[in-house]
Amino acid sequence: MGINAQETYTLKGTITNASSNETLIGVNVIIPEEQKGVVTNEYGFYSIKLPEGTYTLEISYLGFQTISETITISEDTTFNTEMTEGSESLDEVVIKSNNEGINIKSPEMSVNKLSINTIQKLPVVFGEVDIVKSLLLLPGVSNAGEGASGFNVRGGAVDQNLILLDEATIFNSSHLFGFFSVFNPDAVKDLKLYKGGIPAKYGGRVSSVLDIYQRDGNSKEFKAQGGIGVISSRLLAEGPIVKDKGSFLVAGRSSYAHLFLKLADNPNSAYFYDLNTKLTYKLNDENKLLFSGYFGRDVFDINQNFLNTYGNSVFNLRWNHVVSDDIFTNLSLIYSDYYYGLTLNFVGFNWDSGIKNLNIKYDFNHYLNDTFQLEYGLHSTYHEFNPGEIAPIDENSGINFFKLTNKYALENAAYFSVEHNISDKLTAEYGLRFSNFLRLGQESLNEYENDNPIIYNEALDIYEEAQPVDQNSYSRSEVIKTYSNLEPRLALAYNFSENQSFKASYNRMAQYLHLISNTNSPTPLDVWAPSGPFIKPQILDQYALGYFRNINDGKYSLETEVFYKDIQNRIDYVNGANLIANDNIETIILNGRSRAYGLELLAKKNEGRFTGWVAYTLSRSEQQTPGRTAVESGINNGKWYATNYDKTHDISLTASYDYNKKWDFSANFAFQTGLPVTYPMGQYDFNGINVPVYGDRNSNRLPAYHRLDLSATYIPKPNKKQGFQSSWNFGIYNVYNRKNANSISFRENDDTGRNESAKLSLFGIIPSITYNFNF
């Protein structure tokens, strides 16, 4: 350490991939002499303070050859460097400290990371490489069954995940109702899933943050890559606009029409497509402009009778600016929208709904000194909600025009976050986010007697919609309700030996948007509703403790965590609530709470021909909606009940074997407790309808879920590094053809009139083949 009153200088720079100039995120830059290190940020930038002197700079990154460079610091210095991919390392040089071993010193915990390389080798259904499906193999992440939209993190709901693609919010992460995710893996550079200890720079969702960065495009030479699979085909092109300064990337993906609907000669189709674009232009060492776009749609057309289109669109303009040697800033201007459209010819109407938002963010990374590294910034988002509009399809339609009232809101936040190296052994990351939500004026806002939109009928023990007593219109510049929250975040790491540490974290978060859905799995039809006079924001408190260990120099690693989280104001729906085209959601919901707790274990082997991991989660996720007064019964009689996605045990085993340069093999096995369901306990007949009698909500379980998947990747010419290269991926999903129950329905048999239980299983054994190429 600099004991003398030596001058301190700043070393800064950007680290890029030698073959493409693509910036690299999370590269370790280490100065062994000083026992100091820094990690590149989301834009490949690093900055570190050093006393005058000569140092060895060690730069290492997973999958790349480590750089060791001697550097003399006698003034503020910029050192930009390029790293070369080192995939052929296996038979040759073994690259040290370049494995996926965990960072023992950093207070960062409860984070799932997967490299795109790992994701691309995992066996998946229909051979479609899928980011979200791969994350399910890690602890703390699950979904509500095969084919369910989105994912659940630590017992949280699907709408509680903040999903960012190049910093822009994605509202629906699923194609085809959940079979595939909307992220084209070819266009993705890096991703990180925060399950807890979420830094103050993120906010607006309470359960998790999935932060995905798209690739910038190759600014050295033109490249193309693509793939042909069973379900979809992909094509990506990238290249320089101005060599070494500007680049473009365009990636498209489309499924084939008539996918699942091969019904006789009917003109049915179901397909999806998405388009990713990126333009990057480096003005100079201090300034860079990035433009990103995403556009995706799902289309279902059944006989021209039912036409359904939905998807996300996102545009984002960013300006990276290095203000001084130790301050990096990024200004983002983001537009994002989610659209849902439906045409029902047989009823005679068109339906449109959606959410739009305009977001401005200004974020600072401030590399203050050895002890403190700061992040601070301002965020502001303007939301516009269109809950739905129904229009007659033509003059013969019996439908009247009907518009649900648009809603508007402004969400602001200011935050700061400090990474504090308290001592050699103790590091902390703490911060505070101040969030503020302004529900703006709208037309026809209902008022209810005693401000009570939902009335409990004590005699019949049911909840009934209150009739509005008045309706007011407000101008959009008026604020009709304000919420403000202070969200403290804290994470600590105590590394009591070089390879072991304890970590602890606490975070409070507020969520002002709510996904209105009461089906077991979200549908694209679900609408987002803002907090306001009747709906309060969800507030989360999460605590996590963990033990982390690298074994044998990171050859193996072990991560164990326990967590507890509590969410206030989780809305729940009264029995029989009709959510579709309901302009007064407040009349059918009650405020409840939810909680989740559990244990997570991840043991990995990070090096060698044979790599893989075992992930285990033991958890419980519950919800409770008591009555508002002593006489009210609430929902499920006010008792705690398991959420639809609660899984007691969730185990996955993933293994990859590098057989030789041509062949790679992977396997994964999953075992999960069956999802909660409610079984009938009796029946009766009313007015010709056979009605099942149900017990307590979600008090039963589907049978346990398990399956084994295998895949093999074949590279015909592994030594070919130039020109056209190709690979084949062969996969088998659900090898032993387990008929896993996706749901059990209880129904009257049409022919016999007897009641029966029917198990629905989605995917049996599915072989797949994918051909990938690049040139």
Question: Two tokens at 691?
Answer: 């009605």
CB 644 → another protein: shortest distance, Å? 8
Of 138, 146, 287, 131, residue with least CA distance to 211: 131
Q: Which stretch binds another protein (CB under 8 A): 39-47, 93-101, 507-515, 747-755?
A: 747-755
Does residue 257 bind another protein (CB under 8 A)? no
Question: Two tokens at 523?
Answer: 């549908």
Q: What's the burial of 98, exposed, middle or buried (CB within 10 Å: 0-12/13-18/19+)?
A: buried
Does residue 116 bind another protein (CB under 8 A)? no
| Residue among 382, 640, 694, 773 that touches another protein (CB under 8 A) | 694
Does residue 723 bind another protein (CB under 8 A)? no
In terms of CB distance, is 273 or 746 closer to another protein? Answer: 746
Provide φ and ψ at 429, rounded to 5°: -130, 120
Task: Give the other-Cβ count within 10 Å of 490's Cβ.
Answer: 18
Interface residues for another protein in 319-348 (CB under 8 A)? 342, 344, 346-347
Question: Two tokens at 619?
Answer: 């958890």
CB 688 → another protein: shortest distance, Å? 5
Does residue 305 bind another protein (CB under 8 A)? yes
Binding mask 522-541 for another protein (x = CB under 8 A): -x-x----------------
Q: Which stretch binds another protein (CB under 8 A): 109-117, 203-211, 611-619, 693-701?
A: 693-701
Q: Which stretch binds another protein (CB under 8 A): 14-22, 507-515, 657-665, 691-699?
A: 691-699
Does residue 256 bind another protein (CB under 8 A)? no
CB 352 → another protein: shortest distance, Å? 15
Interface residues for another protein in 8-47 (CB under 8 A)? none
CB 703 → another protein: shortest distance, Å? 9
Q: Which stretch binds another protein (CB under 8 A): 1-9, 208-216, 504-512, 514-522?
A: 514-522
Does residue 695 bind another protein (CB under 8 A)? yes
Q: How far apart are CA 498 and CA 550, in angstroms?
A: 9
Interface residues for another protein in 448-487 (CB under 8 A)? 459-462, 464
CB 410 within 8 A of CB 435: no
| Residue among 191, 270, 466, 544 that touches another protein (CB under 8 A) | 270
Q: How far apart are CA 310 and CA 523, in angstroms?
A: 11
Of 227, 229, 225, residue with least CA distance to 238: 225
CB 235 within 8 A of CB 226: yes
What contacts 531, CB < 8 A, 6 or more positions away? 409, 437, 439, 481, 483, 512, 513, 514, 537
CB 239 within 8 A of CB 217: yes
| Residue among 151, 271, 294, 763 that touches another protein (CB under 8 A) | 763
| Residue among 506, 748, 773, 774 that touches another protein (CB under 8 A) | 748
CB 729 → another protein: shortest distance, Å? 20
CB 252 within 8 A of CB 235: yes
Does residue 697 bind another protein (CB under 8 A)? yes
Does residue 255 bind another protein (CB under 8 A)? no
Of 330, 547, 582, residue with least CA distance to 446: 582
In terms of CB distance, is 193 or 525 closer to another protein? Answer: 525
CB 577 → another protein: shortest distance, Å? 8
Q: How far apart are CA 66 and CA 745, in angstroms?
A: 56
What contacts 688, CB < 8 A, 6 or more positions away? none
Provide φ and ψ at 534, rounded to 5°: -110, -25
Of the CA atoms within 13 Å of residue 230, those in its CB half-sphere come to: 17
Beta-ladder partners of 538: 511
In terms of CB distance, is 294 or 763 closer to another protein? Answer: 763
| Residue among 70, 687, 719, 722 that touches another protein (CB under 8 A) | 687
Q: How far apart are CA 40 and CA 517, in angstroms?
A: 40
DSSP, collapsed to helix, strand or coil, labels residue 583 as coil
| Residue among 309, 678, 725, 726 that touches another protein (CB under 8 A) | 678
Eight-state DSSP code of residue 393: S
CB 345 → another protein: shortest distance, Å? 9
| Residue among 396, 682, 721, 722 that touches another protein (CB under 8 A) | 682
In terms of CB distance, is 681 or 769 closer to another protein? Answer: 681
For residue 563, CA distances in Å to 110, 139, 701, 734 come to 9, 12, 24, 31
Binding mask 568-607 for another protein (x = CB under 8 A): -----x-xx-x-xx--------------------------
CB 141 → another protein: shortest distance, Å? 19
Binding mask 130-169 for another protein (x = CB under 8 A): --------------xx-xx---------------------
Q: How far apart are CA 502 and CA 120, in angstroms?
A: 32
Task: Give the other-Cβ count within 10 Å of 595's Cβ.
Answer: 19
| Residue among 519, 552, 736, 775 that touches another protein (CB under 8 A) | 519
| Residue among 260, 496, 663, 736 that touches another protein (CB under 8 A) | 260
In terms of CB distance, is 32 or 764 closer to another protein? Answer: 764
Does residue 5 bind another protein (CB under 8 A)? no
Q: How far apart are CA 53 and CA 763, in angstroms?
A: 62
| Residue among 56, 444, 757, 769 that touches another protein (CB under 8 A) | 757
CB 746 within 8 A of CB 755: yes
For CA atoms 411, 216, 86, 42, the dihedral sign is negative
Q: How far apart are CA 640 and CA 287, in angstroms?
A: 54
In terms of CB distance, is 250 or 390 closer to another protein? Answer: 390
In terms of CB distance, is 348 or 441 closer to another protein? Answer: 348
Q: What's the burial of 368, exposed, middle or buried (CB within 10 Å: 0-12/13-18/19+)?
A: middle
CB 131 within 8 A of CB 188: yes
Of 411, 361, 388, 622, residue with least CA distance to 513: 411
Q: How far apart are CA 321 and CA 344, in angstroms?
A: 50
Interface residues for another protein in 377-406 (CB under 8 A)? 390, 398-400, 402
**With contacts defined by CB under 8 A, how many residues of the chain interact with another protein?**
83
CB 698 → another protein: shortest distance, Å? 8
CB 459 → another protein: shortest distance, Å? 5
DSSP 309-345: EEEEEEEEEEEEEEEETTEEEEEEEEEEEEEEEEEET
- Block residue for tokens 């009247």: 400
CB 292 → another protein: shortest distance, Å? 31
Q: Which stretch binds another protein (CB under 8 A): 215-223, 303-311, 430-438, 601-609?
A: 303-311
Interface residues for another protein in 87-106 (CB under 8 A)? none
Single-letter code of the amino acid located at 448:
Y
Q: Which stretch binds another protein (CB under 8 A): 110-118, 241-249, 295-303, 621-629?
A: 295-303
Does residue 758 bind another protein (CB under 8 A)? yes
Binding mask 164-193 for another protein (x = CB under 8 A): -------------x----------------
CB 139 within 8 A of CB 124: no
In terms of CB distance, is 75 or 265 closer to another protein? Answer: 265
CB 587 → another protein: shortest distance, Å? 12
Interface residues for another protein in 597-656 (CB under 8 A)? 644
